[in-house]
């Protein structure tokens, strides 16, 4: 068995982060603002505005404490209030939908289409028409998500959104550097969300950012991100604000990371290609790739689907034990599960493969469980076609981060082959 564990995705330092951090300490800028924050925002603006093959954009970026904070502030800026409805992709992490509930609004979940695994534009329009008919008003925003870095059909989503006059908030937390028709995700809609968590394409240890249309919208986000203070010589508050600004220390890490972002993206794409090459002759396992040349995923995680008829060793033992702690090094505190199974879960061969890889010291995880199947959202409106549930039942995520070497990929593929009965 391998001694060192292979994790799904861990950020890799460039070696320049400490220079920016030391400068922050030397100048006593150890606060949630400062030169590193400003510099990191400028680096991000250059990155999202100047990709090859497209006319220059002029988007602005605000550095924040988390991608979740970015979703929250974007919703606030779109005027979302208690009782409003927001259309959000169901196949995603909870950070896409939870901020909607922070504001007392209602997430309305939209299922996926089979090619990208992201928001189905046909279901989106069906939902808009139905919500208008049922509630008498339009949803206040639309949130598509770049699942595992894969672009969504943003051209169709924007056409529908523009036709009904509904703003789009792109959740590109997993899609930093992914492009659709050569344009960076997060720059199509009114706002674009980025994340720099420790497992993302680049990291600030924690943190996120919001891509804004212009300087005015950036300033509005900054106002709410810094406790919404009025310009008096004392603290005057006429709006509810939040402590969401990125720290100067974290931004220093981000500035160092920006020097290697293109290398990180290239590495993830290389790992994806290697998985595809090594697994192409393995019956029953299919890697998920770009549906066409319009899509350019960063392959934040490399994902595969297992044929339901595939037999993995140990299937008969899947879900026999109740899990009492976090799986795969998941951060934070979890509640002990009350049962070994739920009414919506990966099938036995996916779980058996996850366990087999775990025994081989390889971190693998199921796909995101669709939000419309989460108990906390059991009563929310949803527009489904079965795609996300079908994918959740047969899908698995494989390691892809900067620390994953070619030899690691070969080891992972050999472990997968060995697990097949």
Here the tokens at position 205 are: 């240890």
Q: Which residues pair with 110 in a beta bridge?
A: 89, 383
Mean pLDDT value across residues 145-168: 98
List, in order of start, the domains of the chain with CATH numbers: 17-261 (3.40.640.10), 262-419 (3.90.1150.10)
Here the tokens at position 189 are: 């809609």
Percent of the chain past pLDDT 90, that is, above it, reads 85
Q: Work out the pLDDT band at 325, boundaries 50, 70, 90.
A: low
Task: Say how far apart CA 215 and CA 192 lie, in whole Å.
Answer: 14
Mean pLDDT value across residues 395-411: 96
- Give 39-44's long-range contacts (Cβ < 8 A, gap of 24+): 39/251, 39/255, 40/204, 40/246, 40/251, 40/252, 40/254, 40/255, 40/258, 41/209, 43/254, 43/255, 43/258, 44/194, 44/209, 44/211, 44/258
Q: pLDDT tens, 361-381?
A: 999 999 999 999 999 999 999
The reported pLDDT for the residue numbered 1 is 62
The reported pLDDT for the residue numbered 52 is 58
Kindly give the residue spans of alpha helices, DSSP state H, lying in 165-289.
215-225, 248-257, 261-279
Mean pLDDT value across residues 258-283: 97
Instruction: Tally helices (H) and strands (E) across the chain.
Output: 12, 15
Q: Which residues pair with 212 in a beta bridge?
A: 60, 191
Q: pLDDT averaged over the chain? A: 94
Mean pLDDT value across residues 286-306: 98
The beta strands (E) that lie in 1-116 are given as: 60-64, 85-89, 106-110
Above 90 in pLDDT, residue 340?
A: no
pTM: 0.95
The reported pLDDT for the residue numbered 412 is 98
The beta strands (E) that lie in 96-180 are given as: 106-110, 141-143, 169-171, 179-180
The reported pLDDT for the residue numbered 331 is 57
- As a residue count, the chain comes to 421
Taking the CA atoms of the chain, what radius of gyration do you get in angstroms? 21
The reported pLDDT for the residue numbered 327 is 61
């Amino acid at each position: 068995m391998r001694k060192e564990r292979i994790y799904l995705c861990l950020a890799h330092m460039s070696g320049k982060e400490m220079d920016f951090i030391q400068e922050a300490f030397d100048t006593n800028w150890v606060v949630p603002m400062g030169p590193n924050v400003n510099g990191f925002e400028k680096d991000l603006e250059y990155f999202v505005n100047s990709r090859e093959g497209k006319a220059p954009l002029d988007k602005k970026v605000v550095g924040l404490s988390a991608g979740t904070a970015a979703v929250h502030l974007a919703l606030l800026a779109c005027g979302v209030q208690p009782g409003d409805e927001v259309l959000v992709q169901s196949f995603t992490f909870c950070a896409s939908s939870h901020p909607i509930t922070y504001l007392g609004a209602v997430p309305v979940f939209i299922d996926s289409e089979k090619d990208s695994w992201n928001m189905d534009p046909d279901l989106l329009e069906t939902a808009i028409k139905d919500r208008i008919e049922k509630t008498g008003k339009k949803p206040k925003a639309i949130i598509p998500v770049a699942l595992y870095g894969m672009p969504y059909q943003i051209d169709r989503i924007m056409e529908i959104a523009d036709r009904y006059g509904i703003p789009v908030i792109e959740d590109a937390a997993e899609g930093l550097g992914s492009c659709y028709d050569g344009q960076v995700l997060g720059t199509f809609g009114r706002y674009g969300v980025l994340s720099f968590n420790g497992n993302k394409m680049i990291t600030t240890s924690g943190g996120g950012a919001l891509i804004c249309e212009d300087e005015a919208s950036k300033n509005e986000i900054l106002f709410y991100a810094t406790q919404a203070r009025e310009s008096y010589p004392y603290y005057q508050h006429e709006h509810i604000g939040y402590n969401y600004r990125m720290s100067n220390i974290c931004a220093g890490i981000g500035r160092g990371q920006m020097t290697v972002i293109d290398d990180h993206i290239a590495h993830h794409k290389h790992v994806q290609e290697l998985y595809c090459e090594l697994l192409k002759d393995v019956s029953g396992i299919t890697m998920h790739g770009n549906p066409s040349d319009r899509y350019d995923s960063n392959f934040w995680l490399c994902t595969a689907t297992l044929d339901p008829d595939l037999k993995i060793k140990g299937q008969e033992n899947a879900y026999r034990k109740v899990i009492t702690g976090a799986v795969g090094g998941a951060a934070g505190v979890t509640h002990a599960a009350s049962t070994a199974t739920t009414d919506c879960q990966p099938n036995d061969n996916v779980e058996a493969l996850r366990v087999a890889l775990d025994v081989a010291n390889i971190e693998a995880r199921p796909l995101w469980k669709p939000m419309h199947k989460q108990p906390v959202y059991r009563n929310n409106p949803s527009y489904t076609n079965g795609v996300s549930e079908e994918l959740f039942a047969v899908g698995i995520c494989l390691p892809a981060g900067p620390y994953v070497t070619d030899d690691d990929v070969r080891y992972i593929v050999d472990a997968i082959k060995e697990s097949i009965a």
